[in-house]
Amino acid sequence: GLAPVSTGVLVRVAAAPPPPPPPPSQDDLTGVALDASGRPIANAIVQVQMVWNPNVVRTRTGADGRYAVRGLPAGLSHKVIAWHEVSFAGRSYCVRLGMPNVGDYDAFVPGAGVVRDFRWKLTGRIPDAGNNYFGATLVLVPATNFYDPVLEHGDDVELTLVPQGPLVDGSAGEVITRTVRYNTAGWNSRLEDIPHGVYTARVTRVRGGVRTALRVARLDNGTPGATATVDWEPDHQGSCGQVLGPDLRTFSLRLENP
Go through the chain and tell me how many residues it has: 258
Note the pLDDT tens digit of each residue in 127-159: 998 889 999 999 999 988 777 899 999 999 999
Note the pLDDT tens digit of each residue in 174-193: 999 999 999 988 888 999 99
DSSP 40: B
Q: Given a cut of 70, is residue 22 above it in pLDDT? A: no
Q: Given a cut of 60, is residue 211 above it in pLDDT? A: yes
Provide φ and ψ at 142, rounded to 5°.
-70, 140
CB 79, CB 51: distance < 8 Å: yes
Closest CA to 178 of 152, 151, 202, 154: 202
Measured between alpha carbons, how far is 27 from 253 in angstroms, rounded to an integer?
Answer: 49
Note the pLDDT tens digit of each residue in 114-133: 999 999 999 999 999 888 99
Q: Is 236 helix (H, G, I), strand (E, B) or coil?
A: coil
Measured between alpha carbons, how far is 225 from 213 in angstroms, rounded to an integer?
Answer: 10
Q: State the pTM of this model.
A: 0.84
CB 164, CB 229: distance < 8 Å: yes
Q: At 16, is the pLDDT very low, low, confident or very high (cuts 50, 70, 90)?
A: low
pLDDT of the residue at 91: 94
pLDDT of the residue at 244: 85
pLDDT of the residue at 238: 73
CB 84, CB 46: distance < 8 Å: no
DSSP secondary structure string for all residues of 123-180? SSB-TTSTT-BSSEEEEEEEPP-SSS-S--TT-EEEEEEEE-S--TTSPPP--EEEEE
Provide φ and ψ at 21, rounded to 5°.
-65, 150
What's the whole-number mean pLDDT along residues 217-245?
A: 88
